[in-house]
Chain A
Amino acid sequence: MAKLVNGKGESASGNGAVEASKARWEAQFDTSAKLPGANDRTLSDHPLKPLYGPEDLSGIDYDRDLSYPGQYPYTRGIHPTMYRGRLWTMRQFAGFGTAKQTNQRYKFLLEQGQTGLSVAFDMPALMGYDSDHPRSLGEVGKCGVAISTLQDMQDLFAGIDLGSITTSMTINCTAPVALAMYIATAEAQGVPQERLGGTMQADMLKEYIAQKEWIYPPEPSMRIITDMMAYCAKNVPKWNTISISGYHIREAGSTAAQELAFTLADGFAYVKAGIAAGMDVDDFAPRLSFFFNSHSDFFEEIAKFRAARRIWARHMREKYGAKNPRSWALRFHTQTAGCSATAQQPENNIMRTAFQALAAVLGGTQSLHTNSLDEVLALPTEKNVAIALRTQQIIAYETGAGNVIDPLGGSYFVEKLTNELEAAAEDYFRRIDEQGGVIPAIHNGFFQREIADAAYVYQRELENGERIVVGVNDFVVEEEQQISLLKIDRAIELEQCERVQAYRASRDAGMVESALAAFKRAAESGENLMPHYLNCVKSKATLGEISEALVPIFGRYREPAFI
């Protein structure tokens, strides 16, 4: 058994000199010294010791628990060469107003050296409503770009070659509609679906847990997702079908351990669903990817990313019988923590973002979004989004953080914390299993309650001064909000509604009707729905019409509301 401890295979307890030094340090350590507030625990209230040492590595087997980059269980990274071969993808999430406006922003970001696109959709698109639906009033183009029709999608990517860029789309219950629109847009550009690369979030489980954008109940949503996985495995082989997301779980107030555990539990639920639908695990698991938050507790975040890789690899190989190493390797995108940004002294958010981004890089992320300083107030301006991108470029080209692979591997502290986070996640997996799995735990409100509890604990710590947030409850200054914000003109809503209505007026109504009728029959018969989504989109049915069509069959989800 390969020991990590001191190179000679000796454990700390067997070394008299080390014991004596440790005793001397303990005698000299001032136990009356108190850290401010809650700083004797991580941001997630995980207990910390003042010092970690060789004894914290006892039990770690290098080969079994860490191994080399690119090798099972991938604790040190999924690629043998990591950033020395290729940097992470710098991917800034963007979308606002109309498709034409967002198209301009994409072109700006690509000119600034961004290497991938990431689409933010507005609330109506995320919930399955067209821009002109009464429920969309006041929401059109606000939180993202307004997309109701295939024409909108074509405008979004006008002049951008979909054969040479990868696109990530943060969309869930309406993900198959967006994918169908994207495929149809690419076809119109002459790019076949086989060549398309990108990622669909399509993680409905975390919607019920944290982000709360849905149409149908969990069970039919899982069927739609497995249909997408099966379709893409065959027809869009380079597409990442699900981006299993902890980001929103963390933003909703979870701890790091909860983010880790709930996200991976969701991942395993998709794997089980795929297997239950008759697919071979290695046919779809290599196309699953992850999306994590990077919060402000630097080492806890790094440990979380490392633990995530190890847990996924172990479960995929040992429990789900995956044989392809690509099914074992957890690839992930990271976004810095929006919830850590402050409206007070917003320029300080640049520093928060930089530390969080550095943690993501030291944790081995495959792609990264850095938040702009003004995102707590509004969608980012061009200037602020450029600073956020430059932050990544400074990490990549100036700090040297990517020059050595997993540079914190072997750190007494980081390895111990990695182990402890893995153990905390395993404990949650047991509790979820005891409830019958992820979907029953959603129905009984388990995740929602755990997250709300953690959010409230944190808020109380903030209120009583145990936690300090610079500029919010300490180091406060009187200030006027002086940064300039991006405004979404209300005229955009009217303009977009007119466009959608003109689109509906221009089409062949009979074609739309027959496409939607076939779509509904497929939903009832259990046939794969994805070709029907494509057919509906190409027949010019709108996002809202396609989404609404299945409500009579699948029902509409209502959340159990509790405080």
Chain B
Amino acid sequence: MARPIRILVAKAGLDGHDRGAKVIARALRDAGFEVIYTGLHQTPEQVVEAAIQEDVDGIGLSILSGAHLTLFPRIKQLLDEADAGDIVLFGGGTIPNEDIQPLLDAGVAAVFTPGTPIATIVDFVRRECGKRVEA
């Protein structure tokens, strides 16, 4: 049997809103994935370091402070620099629709906005992060 998918749920920047991150972390765990939560106020460097150390298949980043256009691309860049570009970066939070395309262009695999059913996120993780388990 293949090993379970491992996901790092991350809070980056100074944002303290952790309701969504915790709900997603629990839901992913209940869906059978291994979930690691970084805790609050991580720098992009800390997030990437944790992801590599824990050998995760995906990073789910939650940002509600408006800093998404800075933090997502920075984390993606650090992943690539660390030769860990195969780790799937996805996320959500208070992100206006018009900012989604620029994030996708920067290499973010998916952006889930408020109200997204958890099943949609679970399906995404199983499909996209599952590829790394098989590889």
**Which residues of chain A have a CB within 8 Å of any CB of chain B?**
123-124, 126-127, 129, 135-139, 142-143, 207, 211-213, 251-253, 339, 342-344, 376-378, 452, 455-456, 459, 463, 469, 472-473, 480-481, 485, 488, 490, 558-559, 561-563
Contact = CB atoms under 8 A, between A and B. Distances in A.
Given A138-B70, A212-B16, A252-B19, A377 B118 contact: no
B19 A253 contact: yes
Interface string B59-74: 0000001110111000
Contacts of A488: 66
B79 to A, nearest CB: 17
B3 to A, nearest CB: 20
A463 B119 contact: yes
A485 B18 CA distance: 24
Given A207-B16, A463-B117, A485-B98, 12 more contacts: A135-B13, A212-B18, A252-B17, A455-B23, A459-B23, A469-B115, A480-B97, A481-B96, A481-B97, A485-B96, A558-B39, A561-B38
B66 A378 contact: yes
A344 B40 contact: no
Most chain A beta-carbon contacts within 10 A, residue among B19, B69, B70, B114: B19
Interface of B: 9, 13-19, 22-23, 25-27, 29, 35, 37-41, 43, 65-67, 69-71, 94, 96-98, 113-115, 117-119
Q: Is the interface of A mostly helix, strand, loop or mixed?
A: loop
6 contacts: A139-B70, A455-B23, A456-B26, A459-B118, A485-B96, A563-B26
Most chain A beta-carbon contacts within 10 A, residue among B15, B37, B117: B15
A212 B40 contact: yes
B11 to A, nearest CB: 9
A513 B14 CA distance: 27
B39 A561 contact: yes
A278 B117 CA distance: 53
Nearest to A342: B115
Nearest to A96: B66
Contacts of B117: 463, 473
Contacts of B26: 452, 456, 563
B29 A563 contact: yes
A137 B65 CA distance: 12
A376 B37 contact: no
B124 to A, nearest CB: 15
Contacts of A138: 13, 67, 69-71
Contacts of B22: 452, 455-456, 563
A439 B21 CA distance: 24
B37 A377 contact: no
A126 B114 contact: no
A256 B98 CA distance: 35
Nearest to B42: A561
Contacts of A452: 19, 22-23, 26
Contacts of B94: 376-378
Contact of A136 (B14, B35, B71): B14
